Amino acid sequence: MGRLDDKIAIVVGGGRNIGRATSKLFATEGAKIAIFDLDEERAAAVTEEVVEQGGECMYVIGEVQKVDDVKNMVTKVVDHYGKVDILVNCAAISDRSPMLELDNDEYHRVIDVTMNGTYYTCKYVSEQMVKQGKGGSIVNFSSGSAFQGNTRRVAYDMAKGAIVVLTMDMAAQLAQYGIRTNAIAPGQTGSQVGGKIAFEDRHSNNLVGGRAGYPEEQASVALFLASDDSRHLYGQTLQNDGGSSIV
């Protein structure tokens, strides 16, 4: 018996890193997976990995910040699997310069993907869950960046702060439909978000645990939040960060 038997899980940004680890772990717990990602090569590769380990997986290509892509994704998943029970939101991009140097177009792009994209998938997937009438569980990825000032980033941090608030609002509004919403705020994990800095090159000062985290260590917390193990938890953002937020 798996903890997610008979569940259909959409993993947004499931093409690599934390989304990939989440897709693979959820499948081993009995969930059928639908990956939504803009990168077909990545999505197809993870789909193959899930199938190779004995799971069931499909993918839909699209961009989270495009409402039509998100609606199309929900339709395709429901056409294929008949329903959706779990949503995990991993897609994000980050800016890499201080506010005084940040181009406004870049600012809007990061907010659009990272904040609006999360909002759209939450909105249209939970709309489907409400229609089904059987509840659901939604896990958003915020970031430690939502709680600390940073010298070289701003739009990403703002979007991640907004996701903490979105998570509380959704928890308050959707509990009546049996839908729980929680979030994870990772510290440094795997490779850099949307970038090229590899795991082994990430600096690990201020990490009580002494090292950056593995994507699998985010996936296991996502599993806890997605499953009934956390059935009494609503609107929380868990700081899963090797202790960096407590020192």
Ligand X SMILES: NC(=O)c1ccc[n+]([C@@H]2O[C@H](COP(=O)([O-])OP(=O)(O)OC[C@H]3O[C@@H](n4cnc5c(N)ncnc54)[C@H](O)[C@@H]3O)[C@@H](O)[C@H]2O)c1
Which residues bind to ligand X, rule: CB under 6 A? 13, 15-19, 37-39, 42, 63-65, 90-93, 113, 117, 141, 143-144, 186, 188-191, 193-194
CB of 31 to ligand X, least distance (A): 18
Nearer to ligand X, 190 or 235 (CB): 190
With tokens 């395709």, the residue in question is 76
With tokens 């994507």, the residue in question is 215
- Assigned token pair, 139: 């896990």
* DSSP helix/strand/coil, 61: strand
CB of 208 to ligand X, least distance (A): 16
| Vertex 43 angle, CA 92 and 203, to 5° | 45
Distance CA 94, CA 97 (A): 10
Nearer to ligand X, 82 or 195 (CB): 195
Nearer to ligand X, 136 or 144 (CB): 144
Distance CA 192, CA 221 (A): 19
CB of 11 to ligand X, least distance (A): 10
- Assigned token pair, 35: 């990956």
Closest CA to 2 of 66, 75, 60, 55: 55
* DSSP helix/strand/coil, 180: strand
Residues 15 and 43 sit within 8 Å (Cβ to Cβ): yes
| Active-site residue set | 156
Nearer to ligand X, 60 or 129 (CB): 60
